[in-house]
């Protein structure tokens, strides 16, 4: 069960204590409302207001209770007057020049959405005394957002750019950017798979598709027959690599594996013979080593 806010600490620099009190009282009232302890006007709510005041003193802690004893008697008989008296004690007038300086130092964090950034700026600007806080937030986001592309889109709006329009454009931009990144990743994965299916481990095109399997732990291409030399061998050790075909005069395959035209009966016999040898990694100096 939620036990409510912890004791309030009145120590520290005046402006920091002032901000901390505003946050503490907001948390306390949310807690007491959740318990059904309201402070509505009217005699029928008098007991509830007294209960709410007692609850405030309990949660605020002993140091706040000492401070409350120095308040005027009239300020202690009602929750609203009691809360205002404490606020007057803890709250100091903000230094607007310094608060605006802090506001201008804000920048969008990595991974932070514009909507989240806007909420952070609104909190920081609440004590800056701006006549139009939305306008200040709008201009600051345009100036400090991390996306140059988004900034350009916002500037294209000209005088029609309001904070509401900015948030709408930013949300659309972020959604499209996320989908685009996801799609680019999928395309890259598919392209990689396609490339692997058409090339063997020597980077040679393999129309037969016979050597596209992943290498096993021994560094071989498994039990599959290489579409270039007709044998099994270790990766990057195809004996046909760099050799010239005696049939089509192309490179990187032997005559009996040539696919330039229909194979002769002898080529079929040769291929079957080599398959039965099941040689793994045996070097071949030339194509004639496997000729009949």
What is the chain's mean pLDDT, rounded?
76
CA distances for 158 relative to 143, 155, 169, 174, angstroms: 14, 6, 13, 21
| Spans of all domains in the chain | 14-90, 96-195, 215-292
Give the pLDDT confidence of 112-141 residue by residue, as tens digits: 999 999 999 998 898 888 999 999 999 999
Q: What is the model's pLDDT at position 214?
A: 42
Q: What is the model's pLDDT at position 206?
A: 46
Give the pLDDT confidence of 73-105 residue by residue, as tens digits: 766 667 888 888 898 888 877 788 988 999 999
pLDDT band at 285 (very low <50, low <70, confident <90, very high): very low
Residue 147, judged by CB atoms within 10 A of its CB (0-12, 13-18, 19+), counts as middle
CA distances for 96 relative to 3, 126, 131, 139, angstroms: 36, 10, 12, 19
Which of 55-59, 273-277, 283-287 is the most confident on average? 55-59
Q: What is the model's pLDDT at position 19?
A: 82
Q: What is the model's pLDDT at position 222?
A: 52
Which of 141-155, 169-183, 252-266 shows the lowest per-residue confidence on average (mean pLDDT)? 252-266
Which of 23-32, 92-101, 270-279 is the most confident on average? 23-32
pLDDT band at 202 (very low <50, low <70, confident <90, very high): very low
pLDDT band at 39 (very low <50, low <70, confident <90, very high): low
User: What is the number of alpha carbons within 13 Å of residue 281 lying toward its C-beta?
Assistant: 7
CA distances for 150 relative to 15, 133, 143, angstroms: 36, 21, 11
Q: Is the pLDDT of residue 8 over 50?
A: yes
Q: What is the model's pLDDT at position 279?
A: 45
pTM, whole model, 2 decimals?
Answer: 0.47
CA distances for 247 relative to 46, 257, 259, angstroms: 106, 10, 10
pLDDT band at 45 (very low <50, low <70, confident <90, very high): low
Q: What is the model's pLDDT at position 44?
A: 54
Q: What is the model's pLDDT at position 278?
A: 46
Percent over 70 (pLDDT), the chain: 70
Q: Is the pLDDT of residue 292 over 50?
A: no
Give the pLDDT confidence of 214-250 residue by residue, as tens digits: 444 444 455 577 888 888 887 778 888 888 888 888 8
CB under 8 Å, gap of 24 or more: what pairs does 6-15 form? 6/59, 6/61, 7/59, 7/60, 7/61, 7/62, 7/63, 7/64, 8/60, 8/61, 8/63, 8/64, 9/63, 10/63, 10/64, 10/67, 10/90, 14/92, 15/92, 15/94, 15/95
């Amino acid at each position: 069960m939620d036990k409510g806010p912890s004791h309030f600490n009145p120590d520290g620099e005046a402006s920091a204590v002032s901000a901390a009190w505003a946050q503490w009282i907001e948390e306390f009232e949310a807690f007491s409302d959740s318990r059904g302890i309201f402070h509505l006007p009217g005699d029928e709510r008098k007991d509830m207001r007294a209960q709410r005041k007692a609850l405030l003193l309990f949660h605020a802690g002993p140091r706040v209770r000492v401070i409350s004893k120095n308040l005027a008697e009239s300020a202690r008989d009602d929750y609203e007057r009691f809360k205002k008296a404490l606020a007057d004690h803890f709250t100091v007038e903000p230094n607007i020049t310094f608060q605006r300086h802090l506001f201008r130092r804000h920048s969008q964090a990595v991974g932070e959405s514009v909507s989240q950034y806007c909420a952070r700026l609104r909190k920081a600007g609440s004590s800056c005394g701006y006549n139009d806080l939305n306008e200040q937030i709008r201009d600051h986001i345009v100036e400090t957002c991390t996306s140059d592309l988004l900034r350009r889109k916002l500037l294209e709006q000209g005088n029609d750019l309001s904070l509401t329009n900015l948030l709408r454009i930013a949300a659309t931009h972020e959604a499209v950017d996320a989908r685009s990144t996801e799609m680019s990743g999928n395309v890259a994965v598919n392209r990689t798979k396609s490339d692997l299916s058409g090339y063997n481990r020597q980077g040679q095109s393999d129309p037969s598709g016979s050597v596209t399997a992943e290498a096993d732990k021994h560094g071989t291409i498994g039990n599959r027959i290489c579409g270039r030399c007709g044998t099994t061998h270790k990766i990057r050790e195809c004996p046909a690599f760099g050799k010239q075909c005696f049939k089509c005069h192309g490179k990187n395959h032997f005559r009996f594996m040539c696919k330039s035209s229909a194979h002769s009966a002898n080529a079929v016999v040769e291929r079957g013979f080599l398959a039965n040898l099941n040689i793994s990694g045996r070097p071949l100096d030339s194509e004639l080593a496997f000729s009949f």
